[in-house]
Amino acid sequence: MKLYLRIWRQKDRNDKGRFVDYELDDVNEHMSFLEMLDVLNQHLIEKGEEPVAFEHDCREGICGCCSLVINGVPHGPWSKTTVCQLHMRAFKDGDHITIEPFRAKAFPVIKDLIVDRSALDRIMQAGGFIDVRTGSAPEANSIPVPKHVADLAMDAAECIGCGACVAACPNGSAMLFVAAKISHLGLLPQGQPERKKRARAMVEAMMKEGFGGCTNYRECEAVCPKGISISFIARLNRDFLGAALFPEGGGGKREQKSLFK
């Protein structure tokens, strides 16, 4: 099939960037979307032009590298699918396809379709963990976890950290990302001791990074390649509110933290 591509090209962080049009003839419906871009790049290299830079690695939908917006939708037209798993069967001969990077205030473009998502790592560093030292863990079966709880925690834990939720949100919010981690750890008995501290620390870090708040557009859920539900955001809100109203050691000498500082 023949495709008409309109791709965002941007030399570096400081460049303004622009769309460039390309035509591509030899596209096969069995190709993945990224393989289609590979073919385009091979043509560009042969012509002596710079190939389109895009992020990718595992190409099996799990590493979370790919970060393209296709015709306005992060990860493209198939639901619950990363770009690397999107195949050209989704398109037809003569289609026009616009390809952009994930766009958000907290995700500056580094080059072409590659963005800087290190803000998500910094949120994790603020509290996205259970503080357990290597070697100090109790016997694995000493704490039973009901199957439905473990399954729900796993639903949340499936997040691949791609950031499509942020790119889809009109507010550029990372609430779904944060909610997934807070729910995953907060549902499990192992995550209880730090549950409130974690909610507070991760939300504060999220706000510091310039992500917006959640106003229930639900765009995040619609594009999430792992189908993570926004009901986890309700859990996040509950944990965060609980942390603010009833801090650990509540009633003691511990200083009360205000809700939004």
Partner 1 sequence: MKLDPKIPSGPIEEKWSRRKGEIKLVSPANKRKYSIIVVGTGLAGASAAASLSELGYKVKAFCYQDSARRAHSVAAQGGINAAKNYQNDGDSVYRLFYETIKGGDFRSREANVYRLAEVSGNIIDQCVAQGVPFAREYGGLLANRSFGGALVSRTFYARGQTGQQLLLGAYSALCKEVGRKGVELYPRAEMLDLIVVNGQARGIVVRNMVTGDIVPFLADAVVLATGGYSNVYYLSTNAKGCNVTAAWRSYRRGAGFANPCFTQIHPTCIPQSGDYQSKLTLMSESLRNDGRVWVPKNPGDKRHPNDIPESERDYFLERLYPSYGNLAPRDISSRAAKRVCDEGRGVGPGGRGVYLDFRDAIKRLGVDVIRDRYGNLFEMYERITGENPYEVPMRIYPAPHYTMGGLWVDYNLMSTIPGLFVLGEANFSDHGANRLGASALMQGLADGYFVIPYTIGDYLANTNLSPVSENTPEVKDTVGEVKQRLNKLMQVGKKGSRSVDYYHRELGRIMWDYCGMSRSEEGLKFALGKIRELRARFWEDVRIPGDANCLNQELEKAWRVADFFELAELMCLDALERKESCGGHFREEFQTEDGEAKRDDEHFAHVAVWEFQGDDKPPIRHTEPLQFEVIHLAVRSYK
Q: How far is the CB of 194 from partner 1 (least distance, A)?
A: 10
Q: How far is the CB of 216 from partner 1 (least distance, A)?
A: 27
- In degrees, rounded to 5, the angle at the alpha carbon of residue 171 between the alpha carbons of residues 187 and 5 is 110
Closest by CA to 226, choosing from 152, 150, 182, 162, is: 162
**Is the Cβ of residue 2 or residue 251 nearer to partner 1 in the bound state?**
2
With CB under 8 A as the rule, give the number of residues binding partner 1.
81
Among 81, 113, 165, 177, binds partner 1 (CB under 8 A): 81
Tracing tokens 């809700």 back to the chain, one arrives at 259
Q: Does 245 bind partner 1 (CB under 8 A)?
A: no
- Taking residues 14 to 33 in sequence order and writing x for each that binds partner 1 by CB under 8 A, - otherwise, the string is --------------x-xxx-
Q: Does 191 bind partner 1 (CB under 8 A)?
A: yes
Q: Does 55 bind partner 1 (CB under 8 A)?
A: yes
Q: How far is it, in rounded angstroms, from Cα 19 to Cα 131?
A: 46
The pair of structure tokens assigned to 216 is: 């229930």
Q: Choose the stretch contacting partner 1; rule: CB under 8 A; options: 16-24, 42-50, 231-239, 243-251.
A: 42-50
Name the pairing type of β-strands 68-70 and 18-24. Answer: unpaired
Q: Does 100 bind partner 1 (CB under 8 A)?
A: no
Q: How far is it, in rounded angstroms, from Cα 56 to Cα 84?
A: 8
Region 136-165 residues binding partner 1, contact defined as CB under 8 A: 136-141, 143-147, 150-151, 153-154, 157-158, 160-161
Among 169, 174, 184, 199, binds partner 1 (CB under 8 A): 184
Number of Cα atoms under 13 Å in the Cβ half of residue 44: 16
Closest by CA to 225, choosing from 104, 109, 78, 92, is: 78
Among 24, 78, 238, 242, binds partner 1 (CB under 8 A): 78
Q: Does 188 bind partner 1 (CB under 8 A)?
A: yes
CB of 54 within 8 A of CB of 34? yes
CB of 88 within 8 A of CB of 29? yes
Q: Does 93 bind partner 1 (CB under 8 A)?
A: no
Q: Choose the stretch contacting partner 1; rule: CB under 8 A; options: 48-56, 164-172, 231-239, 252-260.
A: 48-56
Q: Choose the stretch contacting partner 1; rule: CB under 8 A; options: 40-48, 92-100, 211-219, 245-253.
A: 40-48
Alpha-helix residue ranges (DSSP H) falling in 139-230? 147-157, 164-168, 175-187, 195-208, 219-223
C-alpha gyration radius of the chain: 21
Region 103-122 residues binding partner 1, contact defined as CB under 8 A: 110-111, 114, 116-118, 120-121
